[in-house]
Structure 1
Amino acid sequence: MQQVVLPIKDSNVLKEVQDTLLNNFKAGQRNYTIFQVDKATLLRVSDVMRLRWADVFNENGTVRQNTFIHDKKTGKTNLLYLKPVQTDLLAYQAWLQENHLASKWLFPSIQHLDRHITEKQFYKIISKAGDLLGINYLGTHTIRKTGTYRVHTQAHHNIDLVMHLLNHSSEAMALTYLGLYQANQEIMLDQIDFG
């Protein structure tokens, strides 16, 4: 049976997940920062894992305001706005320095600094956080869906912004991703008298 992966809609649950990622794992600062970057950039986790240090940080150690990547799945160019996670990235940079973890990868494997953490490894971390909190809908895609949900609700349901950030080519695609297409259909169908 395939797991149903949903966004975290409740801010208190979101805080619990973030605290669990930060405080219940050996590489908690890395795990937390992956979560924050993924949530703020709305990237697929595969693209977050592939970020290099130089994609995010300038040579002087400051966080870039923007960076370009190519989506692994679609091949489309994607411009990332990093200002929302600047504080998290700087705290993460300090943690890496304190622990003498230098790599070309933004999110290296702690055991193999020449490689980035894999999607499978991070899925296990997210799944464990879900187990610790008794949440059965957490997966790596939860993060992107959570960021998307927060943008949609806090930007006054601006579906054009959501489409652009997700790199989706249609409104229907973005609504389906948010889980709103089916909900909107059901609301409309509830108004029909089928006799």
Structure 2
Amino acid sequence: MSETVNPIKNKTDYILLTRDLLQRTKDAKTNLRNYFMFRVGMCCVLRISDIVSMRVHDLYDADLNVKPRLTIKEIKTGKKKDMSTAHFKKDAEKYRDEVLKPRLNKTYPDKATKCLSSDETIEIGTGKNKREINKYATDWLFTSNRYPFKHVDEKAFYKAIKASAKDVNLEHIGTHTMRKTGAYLLYRGNFDDVLKDKNVKPNNNISLAMKVLNHSSQASTLRYLGLDKETLDKAINDIDAFDIEI
């Protein structure tokens, strides 16, 4: 039976989890990598497979400036995902300065942005699939600690986020939590506790959530966010026709 994974619905829980991610090991760069992966996944509503497969040039230009938009092709669906980077630009700059630049300077001491500006190509594939790609296009955005030439493993991130969830007593947290949380925030308009404190009604913009998730039906989106039963219960509870006194 698959594990139930839910979105984070309250800002207090989000802060607890992400703060723990930033502090949980003695390696500050690993902590920052895991935290930034969570931010990118949430803000761009991405699957973990798409996050670990991101390249440096997906997010940064040839001068290592943060691109205004992140545009990738989803691995699972093959559909295009185009999202603004505005909500995590400061995080991207911090990651660039503290993790990415030191790594690139070590890899390419003659020119740190060589992987982004070089025209050198190599051939990959065979037969009909044979093609040329940029020699440095395989620089992963999120690298493995053990094997720096490989991207971080999904299982490694899973262990990190599960450990942080355990630290702060949060249940049903997994690698889908980032994507589900991002979609939930776009659906509701904000975290539930923030809406309650501000006495603001949720937007419940199902069309927007469907669009960012690349879903084709409202039912799929509500089910993905764990709201199908919740929405049904609320609709039933709001009907006063059953409240009959005799």
User: Is the TM value for this pair above 0.5?
Assistant: yes
- Which residue of the partner structure matches residue 89 of structure 2? 86
Gaps of 5+ in 2: 108-138, 191-202
Distance across 1 between alignment mates of 2:13 and 2:78: 33
Percent of residue pairs identical: 32
Asked if structure 1 preserves the Cα contact closer than 8 Å seen for 2:189 and 2:204, the reply is yes
How many residue pairs are counted as aligned between the two chains? 192
Gaps of 5+ in 1: none
Letter aligned with residue 212 of structure 2: L
Give the RMSD, CA atoms, in angstroms. 1.9
Q: 1:177 aligns with which of 194, 199, 224?
A: 224
Classify 1:172/1:14 alpha carbon distance in 2 versus 1 (closer, same or farther; 3 Å).
same
1:149-172 C-alpha deviation (Å, 9 max, x unpaired): 111111722211111111111222
Q: 1:29 aligns with which of 29, 32, 35?
A: 32
Q: CA deviation at 1:136?
A: 2.3
1:33-88 C-alpha deviation (Å, 9 max, x unpaired): 00100010001111011110000001111111113211111111111221211110
Q: State the SS of the aligned residue for 1:105.
A: coil
- Which residue of the partner structure matches residue 106 of structure 1? 141
- In our comparison, the structure showing a higher alpha carbon Rg is 2
Alignment partner of 1:63 is 2:110: no
Residues 111-190 of structure 1: pairs in structure 2 closer than 5 A: 111-154=146-189, 156-190=203-237
List, as ranges, runs of 4+ consecutive aligned residues in structure 1 with deviation greater than 6 Å: none
Distance across 2 between alignment mates of 1:76 and 1:2: 25
Asked if structure 1 preserves the Cα contact closer than 8 Å seen for 2:8 and 2:177, the reply is yes
Asked if structure 2 preserves the Cα contact closer than 8 Å seen for 1:101 and 1:113, the reply is no
Per the normalisation by structure 2, the TM-score is 0.73
Which sits farther off after the overlay, 101-110 or 167-176? 101-110
Q: CA deviation at 1:187?
A: 3.2
Which sits farther off after the overlay, 33-42 or 149-158? 149-158
Per the normalisation by structure 1, the TM-score is 0.90
